[in-house]
Amino acid sequence: MRAFIIITSVITLLLPIVSPGTIFAGVEWEVSRTLSLTEKPIDLKTSTNGQWIFVLTAAGDILVYDKENRLNGKIHVGKNIDQMAVGPEEETLYLRNTKEKTVQTLSLTYIRDIDITGSPFKGTENAPVVIVDFSDFQCPYCAKLTTVFDQLLSLYPEKIKIVFKNYPLRSHRFAYKAATLAMAAHTKDMFWPVHDRMMENYNRINDEVISDIRKEFGLDTPEIDQLMNSNQIQMQVRKDAIDGQNAGVRGTPTIFINGRRLDDRRLEAFKAIIDRTLAELAASVE
């Protein structure tokens, strides 16, 4: 039997006389959500961004829940793990084993379910490999990826689909306006020519350059003005950004390949994960 000793400290407070104008402080509370577990929990941690809840159980499992209380994964780490800590980013967990006097570092890879409905794309619509690019039209690294994506489309015809998602950064003054123009152009099937021209001018993007691009592609019309300022386009750009935040995007470009984030943006890194993904898909149908 385990005994618990509770030490209580008694503090005497001298309370002031309450006047009619006194404002009372207090705490109101309610249970906002409850996780129903099938195993006894012994430790619980949340990620720094609030997206994930990690529950260590007496059975030696780590249950991974998202912020909607959905179970996203179960990791068996053994019954000797008695405590865990989350790293500065949610991809790292530290596991303490008091019995064996060890601390393990656990690297996590999340498979993200990203909504790409209505988003512009290049490649085959029903391709087995889907590359999602959260991008900003004033981002130099985003501009460099244009060439890489064209190379990938040549290397993997009918195998890949490249999807564009807006993630205009607040530090880039004209990125949001550029995004609304691109999405207005998308309604006219002109997204990619406008996208490419803006990426070519990523370091010059301003009101004048955006106006010149509109004239070049015949988009300097009242209709496009209305579209750029419409709820439809504004909400689509904002939804892309929210989708990015929910997927853990912090900057641009951020790439996901079939839901897995890719941090290495070299062509060789893309090829490696695409080849691995295609091999996994082929093995799953055998």
User: Which domains does the chain carry?
Assistant: 41-107 (2.40.10), 121-284 (3.40.30.10)
**pLDDT tens per residue across span 119-154:** 999 999 999 999 999 999 999 999 999 999 999 999
Looking at per-residue pLDDT, the higher value among 42 and 88 belongs to 42
Least reliable range by pLDDT among 14-18, 40-44, 149-153, 260-264: 14-18
Residue 284 — left, alpha, or beta (φ > 0 → left; ψ -120 to 50 → alpha)? Answer: alpha
Q: How far apart are CA 161 and CA 252, in angstroms?
A: 19
Contact between 74 and 59 (Cβ < 8 Å): no
Q: Which residue from 172, 106, 107 is spatially nearest to 135, judged by alpha carbons?
A: 172
**pLDDT tens per residue across span 93-103:** 999 999 999 99
Residue range 58-84: mean pLDDT, rounded = 93
How high is the pLDDT of residue 60? 96
Report the half-sphere exposure of 162 (CA within 13 A, side-chain side). Answer: 21
When pLDDT is cut at 50, 70 and 90, the band that residue 23 belongs to is: low
At a CB cut-off of 8 Å and minimum separation 6, what does 266 contact? none
Q: How far apart are CA 175 and CA 161, in angstroms?
A: 24
**pLDDT tens per residue across span 168-217:** 999 999 999 999 999 999 999 999 999 999 999 999 999 999 999 999 99
How high is the pLDDT of residue 21? 64
Which residue(s) pair with 148 in the sheet?
Answer: none
When pLDDT is cut at 50, 70 and 90, the band that residue 158 belongs to is: very high
Which tokens in the block code for residue 144? Answer: 């460099």
pLDDT above 70 covers a percentage of the chain that reads 92
CA distances from 271 to 220, 244, 264, 276 (A): 39, 23, 11, 8
pTM of structure: 0.81
